[in-house]
Amino acid sequence: MQLFIHYFLHLVFPLFIALVFFRKEWKKIYLIFIATMLVDLDHLLASPVFQANRCSIEFHFLHSYYAMVIYFILIFLRKPFKIIGIGLLLHMLTDFIDCLFMYNNCKSCLSHAPAHNAIETVSNFLQF
C-alpha cells in the first residue's frame, strides 16, 4: 500500500492538480511537475545510494528544510517558478508521507533519521 500511495502521489496526483487548476495548459504543467522529480538526483550523492527505510527528508540536501523554504518562496513568483515550487513542495509532502509510513511500520528504523522529531510529532498527532 505504501508503494502504491507513494507513486500515486508522485505521478497521478500532480496530473489531477494540473487538470483541475491549470486546465488550459495541463500538459505543460504536468510535464513541469514530473520534471521536479529531478530533485531526487541528490540521492545519488548519498552513501550508500539506496538504503531501505531511509527517510529522504532532511537526509538529502535538496530535501532539507532550508530547500523547502526556497520551494515555498517559489510559489509566490511568476510561472514557471510558481509551478516548479508547487511540484517540489508536492514532492516533499509525498516523501514526508512515505517517512510517516516507514515510521509507523518500524519506529526504531527512523530513530536516527534527521527528521525524526517532525515525523514522530506528526505521527502522534495523526493517531487519534
For 20-60, the pLDDT digits (tens) are: 999 999 999 999 999 999 999 999 998 888 787 889 999 99
> Would you kindly state where each structural domain of the chain is located, as residue ranges?
2-123
Mean pLDDT of the chain: 92
Mark out the alpha helices in 10-80 (DSSP H runs).
Answer: 13-21, 26-35, 65-74
Helix (H, G, I), strand (E, B) or coil at 77: coil
Structure-block grid coordinates of residue 38:
529531478
CA dihedral angle for residue 44, residue 46, residue 49, residue 53, rounded to 10 degrees: -130
State percent of the chain over pLDDT 90.
70
Nearest to 28 by CA among 79, 88, 91: 79
Q: What is the per-residue pLDDT for 32?
A: 97
Write out pLDDT tens, residues 96-110.
999 999 888 888 887
